Structure 1
Amino acid sequence: MDLDQFDIQIFEILQQDNMTSQRDIGDKIGLSAAAVQRRIKKMREEKVITADISVINPEEVASQILLFVEIELDTDKIEFIDEIKSTFSKIPQIQQCYYVTGEVDFVLVMVVNNMREYESLTRKLFFSNSNIRRFKTFVNMHTVKTGLQIPLPKKDFK
């Protein structure tokens, strides 16, 4: 999808607060509410906008533990990589999964209720998988900053 300056401005507003009314967005960027609505609808249809969600602060809702896990595979055969991607995608405690370059193959962001739950998951996911050479876990002590906003390109629009 070819984005113009209005699309970029709409993105910036929606990434701050996707509950902003289309009328308010239009007032801020100089479009009618109907034009904003059409643009947002098109971005959803084109899968440029993939979800409208509420981000929950886990520290306010429950006493969950946030973990970051590095996974190093034994072999990099594509069928094993696809299999582990599929497995990780199905585990609700794995909030984010990244297939990365460098010394490790995957980085996971996980949320568990307690360390006993995490131990159980390590047995199920890591120790029982012969293609996982090693994993390293980092426990979050304090969330300083999180972000879901994507920095948008600043184009020279005419």
Structure 2
Amino acid sequence: MSLDRVDSEILGALQEDGRLSNRDLAEKVSLSNAPCWRRVKRLEEDGYIKGYAAIINSDKIGLKICAFAEVTLDNHHPDTVADFLAMVNRCPEILECHAVSGGCDYLLKMLAKDMEAYQEFLTQNILNHKGVHNANTLFSMKQQKVSVEIPLDL
């Protein structure tokens, strides 16, 4: 399915405010309620909309450390990769995991309440994990931009 102008408008409006009622969304994109609801359902079913979530301020809940770990594995054997990714998926501290090009294999974005908690997590879960050769950490000094909105007009 390809997106038409109305689908893009629906996605844009929901990215701005995921709590819009169907009535308000329909009004915003110049549709009546039923066709708007059907389009949203189709966008959900086709995987364009993966879900809805509140964006929580990590500082307010005491997670003051944002770190990016560059992780290099010992090898790229499928079992090594699968074990590593299973560990990543078990750890709520790891917000994102990207397979990357360059000097490491994976880039992890993590949160921790303080430096001691981060060091303990890194040692117990990353550095002591079989298959991990090395991890280099970059700490965020100040968050300059955060967005979960996907540009729809590129």
TM-score, length of structure 1 as denominator length: 0.88
Q: Secondary structure at the match of 2:96?
A: strand
TM-score, length of structure 2 as denominator length: 0.90
Which residue number corresponds to residue 30 of structure 1? 30
Which residue number corresponds to residue 50 of structure 1? 50
- For 2:99 and 2:61, the matched residues in 1 are separated by 29
- For 1:9 and 1:19, the matched residues in 2 are separated by 15
Q: CA deviation at 1:121?
A: 1.5
Q: How many residues align?
A: 154
Q: Structure 1 residues 54-63 or 100-109, which shifts more?
A: 54-63
What do residues 84-143 of structure 1 show as CA deviations (whole Å, max 9, x unaligned)? 111101101111111122221111111111222222212222222242221111111211
- For 2:127 and 2:27, the matched residues in 1 are separated by 56
The answer to whether the 8 A contact 2:63-2:112 is kept is no
Over aligned residues, Cα RMSD in angstroms?
1.6
Runs of 4+ in structure 1 over 6 Å off: none
Q: Secondary structure at the match of 1:101?
A: coil
- For 2:140 and 2:5, the matched residues in 1 are separated by 38
Which residue number corresponds to residue 128 of structure 1? 128
- For 1:150 and 1:127, the matched residues in 2 are separated by 33
The answer to whether the 8 A contact 2:68-2:137 is kept is yes
Paired residue type of 1:25:
L
The answer to whether the 8 A contact 2:66-2:140 is kept is yes
Stretches of structure 1 that go unaligned for 5 or more consecutive residues are: none
- For 1:107 and 1:64, the matched residues in 2 are separated by 19
Q: Mark the CA change 1:63 to 1:129 in structure 2 (over 3 Å): closer, same or farther.
A: closer
Q: Secondary structure at the match of 2:13?
A: helix
- For 2:66 and 2:147, the matched residues in 1 are separated by 15
Q: CA deviation at 1:63?
A: 4.6
